[in-house]
Amino acid sequence: MRNDLELQIDQLRGSVISMGERADRMMGDALTALAEGDLTAAELVVEADAALDRSYEQVQHGVLAVVALHGPVGRDLRLLTSLIHVSLHLERMGDYAVNVARTFQRAAGFAGDQDLTEQLLEMGGLARDVGRGALQAFVRFDADMAREAAAIDERVDRFNDGIFHRLVALATESEDRLEWATRMIQLTRQLERFADHGVDVAEQAVFVSTGESVELSSELR
């Protein structure tokens, strides 16, 4: 029974890791679509979300089945509980990648700003760093790595504040600028939320490795 439990937990962990990698690729592809003005690439991000949603449902049902069958306790139960939470946050991260792709599609017909686009791409890269670092911390049960990943979110927030003010100024220039800037303000919010869910994954990494429930954003403040 113990070997069966370990095998099933390992399979579920593998599924969650795959979800995290897929969500990261989706955001990377959405940012590439923005950088290259590629509407087709953006649509592929939207289409990729269905597979992530299926994985999320499989993990949720799988965890509940393992708990019902084996009645795990201690670290095993803690890990299984965290898999439910992490899979939820990864599914939401995929949703935000889709939102970035869709926002780019809606803004594509309006005059943009190359310098601001580059800043958005840099912000997106940092948001991905949060998510990737958090996932690695979860894989390795490394609380220190989790805190390092969460700390990057502070830089994402600073980018969000700075870009927001620049976009507001740009919006006053013309109607075309207004439409593009408004869409990009939405896009920055989506990048910020992607990173926030990465912090939530990092918190689960701390929980699994230490047994402590923490709010890393509060620690940083």
Task: Supply the DSSP string of the chain, one letter for each residue.
Answer: -HHHHHHHHHHHHHHHHHHHHHHHHHHHHHHHHHHHT-HHHHHHHHHHHHHHHHHHHHHHHHHHHHHHHH---HHHHHHHHHHHHHHHHHHHHHHHHHHHHHHHHHHTTS---HHHHHHHHHHHHHHHHHHHHHHHHHHHT-HHHHHHHHHHHHHHHHHHHHHHHHHHHHHTS-HHHHHHHHHHHHHHHHHHHHHHHHHHHHHHHHHHHHS----HHHHH-
Q: 2-220 has which fold?
A: Methane Monooxygenase Hydroxylase; Chain G, domain 1 (1.20.58)
pLDDT tens for each residue of 93-126: 999 999 999 999 999 989 889 999 999 999 999 9
* Mean pLDDT in residue range 61-90: 95
Is a pLDDT exceeding 80 seen at residue 214?
A: yes
Average pLDDT of the chain to the nearest whole number: 95
The Cα 86–Cα 88 span in angstroms is 5
pLDDT at 176: 76
Question: What's the pTM value of the predicted model, to 2 decimals?
Answer: 0.95
Is a pLDDT exceeding 70 seen at residue 1?
A: no
pLDDT at 2: 66
Give which of 94, 97, 92, 111 is closest to 182, Cα–Cα: 111
> For residue 34, what pLDDT band results from cuts at 50, 70 and 90?
very high
User: Domain boundaries in the chain?
Assistant: 2-220
pLDDT at 221: 56
